[in-house]
A and B are shown apart, each in its own frame.
Chain A
Amino acid sequence: MKKKYLYYLLLFVLFPILAQSQVKSKLWYDGNARVMYNRDALEGTLKETDTVSTRSNGGGSTMLDLGFHFTPIDDIEIFSEIRLKNDFGGMWGNKNFVELRRLSAKGVVNNKIAFSVGDIYLKQTKFTLYNYDQELSKYEPSVFKFYRDFVNYENYYQSNYWRLQGLQTNFSYNMYNLIEQLDFDGFATRVRGQEWLGKPELLMLGGSAVVSLSNKVNLGSHYINAFEVLSSSNGTVAYYNPVLNTQLSYSGSLKDVPYKVLLEGGFSKRGWTGDSLAPQIKGNFMEASIHSKGKKGEINLGFRYVDTDFRSIGSQTRRINYNNTTTTYPYYSNDYTQRKVSLIDIMSDPNIYNQNLSTSLMNYNPMYSSVSPYGNATPNRIGLTAEIDNLDLTDFLSAKVQTQYFSEIIGQGTTHKRSFNRYALHSSLSLDKLLSLNKSLALEGSINLETVTRGGEDFEKIDFNSILYSGSISYELIKNFKIIAGAKVFYAEGNEFIAERDKYDQINDYSNNIYDSKETILIAGLQHHFTDDIYFTMQYNQFNVLDKTNTYDEFSLGRLIFMFNMNL
C-alpha cells in the first residue's frame, strides 16, 4: 500500500518534467523576479523632536512571479502567473506567500475570431477606457524609472491599460473595394462583484468598430457602458454610465512630411435609476489634433473641449487614491499626525495606487496635478495643446517640450473661469558624445510647471503655481555598471479652491487651500544592467517635505534601498 502511494507521489512530482519533455513546445514560462530591501530612517529635526515614532524601519522580500503559458492546442493558450514571496525575517514558512496574480486564456476561433477570458487588459480611447499615467511622471529622468516600473508592475499597470476580468474578442475583415478593412472589438467585464448587503454588481460592456476607408482615412466608433445590475442586490438604486466616442482620422503628407489629423467627439450619460434625488447628467467632448513626424522630431498640436458634465468611468478613474494610507511612516510627530500622500509616495509607494474603476470622480491634489487631473477626459476644460517630441537638436542633445493652455467652460461657483497653463521640458545631454569619452556619461533635466489663475473679487481669486525641477546624471564606471545621482525639487505656492462633491459628484462646497510647500528628493547610488531587463541598483535616497504654511511638521527621511530586478 505504501509503495502505491510512493508511485503516486513520484508521478505527481515528476509530471511537470515529463510533461515538458514530451510536449516541450506547449509549455513555456516568463515572469519577473525581484529582490528588494529598504531601510527608512527619520532625519533632520524630526529625528530629535519625534519621540513617538521609531527611529527607523525597514523590510524587504524575495519575490518570484512565475508565469506559465500552456498551449494544449495550437489555437488556445492558458496563462497563469503565480507569485511566490518570502518576506525577509521569516523562516520555515512564516511570512511566505503564494498567490495567484493572473489567470487567463486566449485563443483564436477558426483563425478568424480572437478571444481572451479571465484577467484581461483593456484600453479603448482616451475618453472611454484609458488608464492615464500618474501625476508628475511625464519627462521623469531615467534614474527614477526603476521606482516607477516597480509601482506600475505591482498595480498591474501595463502602458495605459486597465486590468479587468471578463471576456474580450476581436476580429477583422479585409475587403477590396471602397472599404479596405473592418475591425471589431468587444468585451464584457465584471468591474465589481456581488457584495453581501452592499452595492449591486457593476458590469462594463464595450465595443469598437473601425472602418478603414482607404489607407488614408479611418472611421471608428467606440462605446462602453458601465452599469449596476439591480437584481444582484437588495437595493433599489442602480448606476449607469454609457459613453460613445467616434473618431475620424486622415493621414497625408505635405512636402514629403507625413501628418495625421485626428478628429474625435462623443458624449456620455451618467445617472442612477431608482433614485429621485440623483441627477442624470449628459456631457460631450471633442478633440482635434494634428501629428507630424519629421526627421528632427515629432510635433503634435491639438484642441480639446470636454464638457462639465462629461463622465466616463473608464477614463476618469485616477491611479492615485489620496485617501490611501502611506506605507512609510503613515503617522509621524508627537501629535501622531497622519502623513499626507506626497511626492515620495507618488514616486515609490505602490500601496497608494488604485486598481479599480471608480463610479465617481476621485479626489486629487491640485499641488501635483491641477491642469488635467483626469487626463484628457478632465471635465470642464477647453484649450490648446502643443507637444514636440524626440527633438534631436544635435547628435548629443535632444529635447521634448509640451505646453497646454486651458480654460474652464463654466466657472466653479463664479462666472470667472480658471485659466490653466502647463509647460514641460525635458532635455537629454550625452556628454560622452560631446566630450568624445569612451564611457557613457549622460545628463538629464526636466521642468514641469503648472499655473492656475482666476480673477474676480478677493474671495474667489486663484493664483497657484507648482513647479518640479528634476535632474540626473549617470556615469559608466565599467561596462554597464554606472554611478547614478538624481534630484527632484518641487515647489507649490498660492491658493486653489478644491470642490467638495456629494455622492452624485455634484459640487456642494469649496475649500480654499493655501499652499507653500517644498519637497526634495535626492538619490545617489550604483546601478548595473546585465541586460535591459535584468539589473540591480543600490541607492541612498533622501526625502524632505516642508509645508511652510506650518499646517504640518517638516518630514525628513533617509532611505537605503537595494533592488535586483529580472524580467524573465
Chain B
Amino acid sequence: MKNLKFLLLILPFFFASCEKEKIEGPSLNDLYGELNILESLSIVGDSADFSIGESIYFTASFSKQVDWTIRIKGINSGSVKIISGKSNEINQSNSTWNGSSTLLPFFIAEDCDLELTFEMHDDTIYNQVNVQSAKIYNNENTVLITDFENGFNPNFTGFFQAGCTKSLVTNGAGEGNKYLAQYGTCDWDWLIGYVDYFSDYWYDQEDLVNDPTKLYFNIMINGASTISDVSDLPNSLFKLEFYEDENGDDYHDASSEDRYDYEFDVDWTGWRMVSICYNDLIPPSSNAGDGIKHPDKIFKVRTLLLANPESGFAKADVDFLIWSFNAPILD
C-alpha cells in the first residue's frame, strides 16, 4: 500500500513534465506582430542569361510569416514579373525567376527595378536586377504561327472593312519589334476585319500534338479598353476560329468538318497574353463535323475583330501567335 501512495504522489509531477514545445493555432506573431527584416533582400544569379536557361532567385528572411510580393519591372520594355508567397523566408524554392513575364510585353536585355512589398505592412524594399539576355519562348515545346518580325506573310489572307486598319507596326510590340495593328470604326457591320493564318504558312512547320487537353493556343492582344457610349460595355470583341481539315484535302468543308470558336471582350489596355486550351474550345451551333477535336488537322486559325456597329471605335492589335504543349506560354 505504501507503493500505491508513492505512485499517487509522483504521478502529478510526471504529467507536469509532459509539456509540449509547439503552439496551438496560428501564430499571433504572424497575425499581429511587427514585421522586422531579419535578412535583407539579396539577388542570387544577377545578370542571368535567360536565353540559355539560367535563372535568378532571391533571399530574405523576416520576423514573421507574411504575404510578400516581388515586382520586377523592365526599365526599357516595361515588362513586369510578379512573384509572391507567404512565408517568413524568401529562398530559391519560392522565388526562382526564369525570365518570364506576368504582364506583357516580354523582358528584353535590360536593367530592371525590383520592389519587395508586404501585405498589411507599409515596408518596401527596393533593388535592381539585370537581365543579360531575354528568355526565348519559342522552343521545342512550341509551334510559332507568326511574331511578325519578318513582316506580315501575304499568304495570311483576310478582310478589313473600308476605313478600318490592318497594318504592320514597328516599336511597341508585345514581343520583338513588330506587331499587327487592327482597329477602326464600322457603323454598318459587326465585323471590323479578320485574318486567316493558314497552317501551311505558319513560321514553324512542326506537327501539333494530337491531344487537345495538352495543347494551348496563345496570342498577345493589345487592347485600348474602349467602352461603348451606347451599351457601356467594351467595344472590342475578339473571336478565334479554328478550322480543321479532317479528310486532309487542304480544304475546310463547312458542311462536314469541325470548327471550334472562342470569343471574348477586349476590356483592357495594353498587351495581354490570351491562352486557351484546345480542349476548351466550343463548336458553333452550326458545326457540321463529328465534334471530335483533331488539333493535328488544323487547317487555319482565323482571328476576327468585331464591334457593335452602334458603339464606335474598336481596337485589338495582335502579336506572337504561338501554340504551346502541356501549359500556356506564360505558365
- Segment of B24-32, B217-225, B263-271 in the binding face: B24-32
Query: Does B33 contact A459, Cβ atoms closer than 8 Å?
Result: yes
Task: Give the complex CA separation of A286 and B16 in angstroms.
Answer: 10
Which of the listed residues B11, B23, B31, B32 has the most CB atoms from chain A within 10 Å of its own CB?
A: B23
B11: contacting residue among A288, A308, A509, CB under 8 A: A288
The 0/1 profile, CB within 8 Å of B marked 1, for residues 405-429 of chain A is: 0000111111100000000000000
Task: Give the complex CA separation of A271 and B119 in angstroms.
Answer: 35
* Chain A residues with CB below 8 A from B34, complex form: 457, 459
Task: Give the complex CA separation of A415 and B27 in angstroms.
Answer: 9
For residue A209, give the distance in angstroms from its CB to the closest CB of chain B.
Answer: 20
Query: Does A508 contact B26, Cβ atoms closer than 8 Å?
Result: yes
Task: Give the complex CA separation of A410 and B22 in angstroms.
Answer: 7
Query: Does B23 contact A414, Cβ atoms closer than 8 Å?
Result: yes
Asked whether any CB of chain B lies closer than 8 Å to the CB of A240, the reply is no
B16: contacting residue among A382, A410, A411, A415, CB under 8 A: A382
* Chain A residues with CB below 8 A from B1, complex form: 250
Query: Does A460 contact B25, Cβ atoms closer than 8 Å?
Result: no
Interface of A is mostly: strand
Q: A457-B33, A459-B28 are in contact. Are A413 and B23 (CB under 8 A)?
A: yes
Query: Does A507 contact B8, Cβ atoms closer than 8 Å?
Result: no
* Chain A residues with CB below 8 A from B22, complex form: 410
Asked whether any CB of chain B lies closer than 8 Å to the CB of A380, the reply is yes
For residue A380, give the distance in angstroms from its CB to the closest CB of chain B.
Answer: 7
The 0/1 profile, CB within 8 Å of B marked 1, for residues 290-318 of chain A is: 00000000000001010010000000000
Task: Give the complex CA separation of A288 and B9 in angstroms.
Answer: 9
Residue of B nearest to A459 (CB): B32
Residue of B nearest to A415 (CB): B23
Query: Does A460 contact B32, Cβ atoms closer than 8 Å?
Result: yes
Task: Give the complex CA separation of A508 and B22 in angstroms.
Answer: 16
Task: Give the complex CA separation of A460 and B4 in angstroms.
Answer: 43
B:1-20 near A, CB below 8 Å: 1, 4-5, 7-8, 11-12, 15-16, 18-20
* Chain A residues with CB below 8 A from B5, complex form: 250, 261
B:93-128 near A, CB below 8 Å: none
Query: Does B18 contact A305, Cβ atoms closer than 8 Å?
Result: yes
Asked whether any CB of chain B lies closer than 8 Å to the CB of A552, the reply is no
Residue of A nearest to B15 (CB): A305
For residue A255, give the distance in angstroms from its CB to the closest CB of chain B.
Answer: 16
Query: Does B28 contact A413, Cβ atoms closer than 8 Å?
Result: yes
A:252-279 near B, CB below 8 Å: 261, 263
Residue of B nearest to A500 (CB): B25
B20: contacting residue among A261, A288, A409, CB under 8 A: A409
Query: Does A413 contact B24, Cβ atoms closer than 8 Å?
Result: yes
Query: Does B12 contact A305, Cβ atoms closer than 8 Å?
Result: yes
For residue B65, give the distance in angstroms from its CB to the closest CB of chain A.
Answer: 12
Asked whether any CB of chain B lies closer than 8 Å to the CB of A512, the reply is yes
Chain A interface category by residue count: 20 to 34
The 0/1 profile, CB within 8 Å of B marked 1, for residues 355-375 of chain A is: 000000000000000000000
Query: Does B24 contact A507, Cβ atoms closer than 8 Å?
Result: yes
B29: contacting residue among A261, A303, A414, A509, CB under 8 A: A414
Q: A261-B5, A305-B12 are in contact. Are A457 and B25 (CB under 8 A)?
A: no
Residue of A nearest to B28 (CB): A413
Task: Count A-B contacts at CB 8 Å.
Answer: 84
* Chain B residues with CB below 8 A from A409, complex form: 18-20
Query: Does B31 contact A413, Cβ atoms closer than 8 Å?
Result: yes
Asked whether any CB of chain B lies closer than 8 Å to the CB of A506, the reply is yes
Asked whether any CB of chain B lies closer than 8 Å to the CB of A510, the reply is yes
Task: Give the complex CA separation of A65 and B20 in angstroms.
Answer: 52
Task: Give the complex CA separation of A510 and B25 in angstroms.
Answer: 9
Asked whether any CB of chain B lies closer than 8 Å to the CB of A499, the reply is yes
For residue B89, give the distance in angstroms from its CB to the closest CB of chain A.
Answer: 19
Query: Does A412 contact B23, Cβ atoms closer than 8 Å?
Result: yes
Query: Does B20 contact A512, Cβ atoms closer than 8 Å?
Result: no
* Chain B residues with CB below 8 A from A261, complex form: 5, 8
Query: Does A263 contact B28, Cβ atoms closer than 8 Å?
Result: no
Query: Does B32 contact A507, Cβ atoms closer than 8 Å?
Result: no
For residue A436, give the distance in angstroms from its CB to the closest CB of chain B.
Answer: 48
Task: Give the complex CA separation of A229 and B4 in angstroms.
Answer: 42
Query: Does B27 contact A413, Cβ atoms closer than 8 Å?
Result: yes
Query: Does B15 contact A382, Cβ atoms closer than 8 Å?
Result: yes
Residue of B nearest to A262 (CB): B8
* Chain B residues with CB below 8 A from A509, complex form: 26, 31
Q: A250-B4, A410-B20, A459-B32 are in contact. Are A508 and B25 (CB under 8 A)?
A: yes
Query: Does B12 contact A286, Cβ atoms closer than 8 Å?
Result: yes
* Chain B residues with CB below 8 A from A286, complex form: 11-12, 15
Residue of A nearest to B22 (CB): A410
Q: A250-B4, A288-B8, A410-B20 are in contact. Are A507 and B25 (CB under 8 A)?
A: yes
For residue B35, give the distance in angstroms from its CB to the closest CB of chain A.
Answer: 11
Task: Give the complex CA separation of A459 and B16 in angstroms.
Answer: 28
Query: Does A303 contact B25, Cβ atoms closer than 8 Å?
Result: no
Task: Give the complex CA separation of A407 and B154 in angstroms.
Answer: 82
Query: Does A510 contact B12, Cβ atoms closer than 8 Å?
Result: no
The 0/1 profile, CB within 8 Å of B marked 1, for residues 486-519 of chain A is: 0000000000010100000011111010000000
Query: Does A460 contact B15, Cβ atoms closer than 8 Å?
Result: no
* Chain A residues with CB below 8 A from B29, complex form: 413-414, 457, 459-460
Query: Does A507 contact B12, Cβ atoms closer than 8 Å?
Result: no
Query: Does A506 contact B25, Cβ atoms closer than 8 Å?
Result: yes
The 0/1 profile, CB within 8 Å of A marked 1, for residues 139-167 of chain B is: 00000000000000000000000000000
* Chain A residues with CB below 8 A from B33, complex form: 457, 459-460
For residue A157, give the distance in angstroms from its CB to the closest CB of chain B.
Answer: 31
B23: contacting residue among A382, A411, A459, CB under 8 A: A411
Task: Give the complex CA separation of A497 and B28 in angstroms.
Answer: 10
The 0/1 profile, CB within 8 Å of B marked 1, for residues 452-470 of chain A is: 0000010110000000000
* Chain B residues with CB below 8 A from A497, complex form: 28
For residue B325, give the distance in angstroms from its CB to the closest CB of chain A.
Answer: 33
Query: Does A507 contact B27, Cβ atoms closer than 8 Å?
Result: no
For residue B8, give the distance in angstroms from its CB to the closest CB of chain A.
Answer: 5
Query: Does A413 contact B15, Cβ atoms closer than 8 Å?
Result: no
* Chain A residues with CB below 8 A from B20, complex form: 308, 409-410
Task: Give the complex CA separation of A411 and B21 in angstroms.
Answer: 9
A250: contacting residue among B8, B19, B31, CB under 8 A: B8
8 A-B residue pairings within 8 Å (CB atoms): A250-B1, A250-B4, A288-B11, A380-B24, A412-B23, A413-B31, A459-B28, A459-B29
Apart from the given pairs A308-B24, A382-B19, A460-B29, 7 other A-B contacts in the complex at a CB distance below 8 Å: A409-B18, A410-B22, A412-B23, A413-B23, A460-B28, A508-B26, A509-B26
Lowest 5 A-B CB distances belong to which pairs? A507-B25, A413-B28, A305-B15, A459-B32, A303-B12
Which A residues are within 8 Å of any B CB, using their own CB?
A: 217, 250, 261, 263, 286, 288, 303, 305, 308, 380, 382, 409-415, 457, 459-460, 497, 499, 506-510, 512
Which B residues are within 8 Å of any A CB, using their own CB?
A: 1, 4-5, 7-8, 11-12, 15-16, 18-29, 31-34
